A and B are shown apart, each in its own frame.
Chain A
Amino acid sequence: MANLVQHYALGGLNIQSEIALPALQTQNRSHDVTICTGIVAKTLEDIADSGQLFDQSPLWEVSSRCFLLYIPKVARILAIEGKEIVIDPLSGDDPQGMQTLLLNTVFPVLCLQRGLLPLHMSAVAVDGGCIGFTGQSGAGKSTLAAYLEKQGYSVLSDDLCVVSFDQQGMPIVHPWIPYFRLWKKSLDAMEIDSHDRLRAWRKKGKYYIPTDRNFSTQPQKLLNIFHLRENRLSSETTIEQVQGMKSMMLLNQHTVMAITLSGMKQQKEQFENCSRLCRFTKLFHLSRHKKFQYLPDTVQTIQSFLHI
Chain B
Amino acid sequence: MNAKVYWLASYPKSGNTWIRIFLANLLEEKQQPVDINRLNKHPAFLPIATDRKQFDRTVGVLSEDLSQETVLRLRPWVLRRCLQRSSAQQSPVLFSKAHDANITASAEERLYPPDLTSGVLYIVRSPFDVAISYSHHYNISIDQAIHEMADIHYGWNRSEDKYYLQLAGYHSSWSKHILSWLDHADYRVHLVRFEEMKYRPRETFQSIVRFFGLPHNDTAIQQAIQFSQFKELKKQEERVGFSERVAKKARFFRKGEAGAWREILTSDQIQQIIQDHGPVMQRLGYLDQHNNPIDETIWSQSP
Seen from chain A, the residues whose Cβ lies within 8 Å of a Cβ on chain B are 57-60, 69, 71-72, 100-101, 104-105, 136-138, 183-185, 201-206, 232-233, 253, 257-260
B161 partner, pick from A60, A105, A205, A232, beta carbons under 8 A: A205
Chain B residues near A204 (CB, 8 Å)? 160-161
Q: B61 near A69 (CB under 8 angstroms)?
A: yes
Q: List 11 A-B contacts (CB under 8 A).
A: A58-B73, A58-B74, A59-B61, A60-B60, A100-B65, A105-B60, A137-B52, A137-B56, A137-B63, A205-B161, A232-B243
The distance in angstroms between the C-alpha atoms of A259 and B59, with both chains bound, is 7
Considering the complex, give the chain A residue whose CB is closest to the CB of B52: A137
Seen from chain B, the residues whose Cβ lies within 8 Å of a Cβ on chain A are 37, 52-53, 56-67, 70, 73-74, 77, 81, 159-165, 240-241, 243, 245
The distance in angstroms between the C-alpha atoms of A30 and B159, with both chains bound, is 44
The distance in angstroms between the C-alpha atoms of A72 and B73, with both chains bound, is 12
The distance in angstroms between the C-alpha atoms of A233 and B245, with both chains bound, is 10
Instruction: A137-B62, A202-B65 are known; give 13 further A-B pairs, CB within 8 A.
Output: A59-B74, A60-B60, A69-B61, A105-B61, A105-B65, A138-B163, A138-B165, A184-B162, A205-B159, A205-B163, A258-B60, A259-B57, A259-B60
Chain B residues near A205 (CB, 8 Å)? 159-163
Chain A residues near B162 (CB, 8 Å)? 183-185, 205
The distance in angstroms between the C-alpha atoms of A205 and B245, with both chains bound, is 24
Q: B65 near A136 (CB under 8 angstroms)?
A: no
> Which 5 A-B pairs rank lowest in CB-CB distance, beginning with the nearest?
A205-B161, A233-B241, A259-B60, A204-B160, A257-B60
B60 partner, pick from A137, A253, A260, beta carbons under 8 A: A260
Chain B residues near A58 (CB, 8 Å)? 73-74, 77
Considering the complex, give the chain B residue whose CB is closest to the CB of A109: B60
Q: B37 near A233 (CB under 8 angstroms)?
A: yes
Considering the complex, give the chain A residue whose CB is closest to the CB of B70: A72
The distance in angstroms between the C-alpha atoms of A138 and B106, with both chains bound, is 28
Considering the complex, give the chain B residue whose CB is closest to the CB of A103: B65
Chain B residues near A202 (CB, 8 Å)? 64-67, 160
B163 partner, pick from A72, A183, A232, beta carbons under 8 A: A183
Q: Shortest distance in angstroms between B36's beta carbon and chain A's nearest beta carbon?
A: 11
Chain B residues near A137 (CB, 8 Å)? 52, 56, 62-64, 163
The distance in angstroms between the C-alpha atoms of A204 and B159, with both chains bound, is 9
The distance in angstroms between the C-alpha atoms of A104 and B62, with both chains bound, is 8
Q: B64 near A259 (CB under 8 angstroms)?
A: no
Considering the complex, give the chain A residue whose CB is closest to the CB of B248: A291
Q: B58 near A136 (CB under 8 angstroms)?
A: no
Q: Take A183-B162, A232-B243 as given contacts and tell me if A57 and B60 are in contact as well, using a CB distance cutoff of 8 Å.
A: yes
Chain B residues near A259 (CB, 8 Å)? 57-60
Chain A residues near B66 (CB, 8 Å)? 71, 202
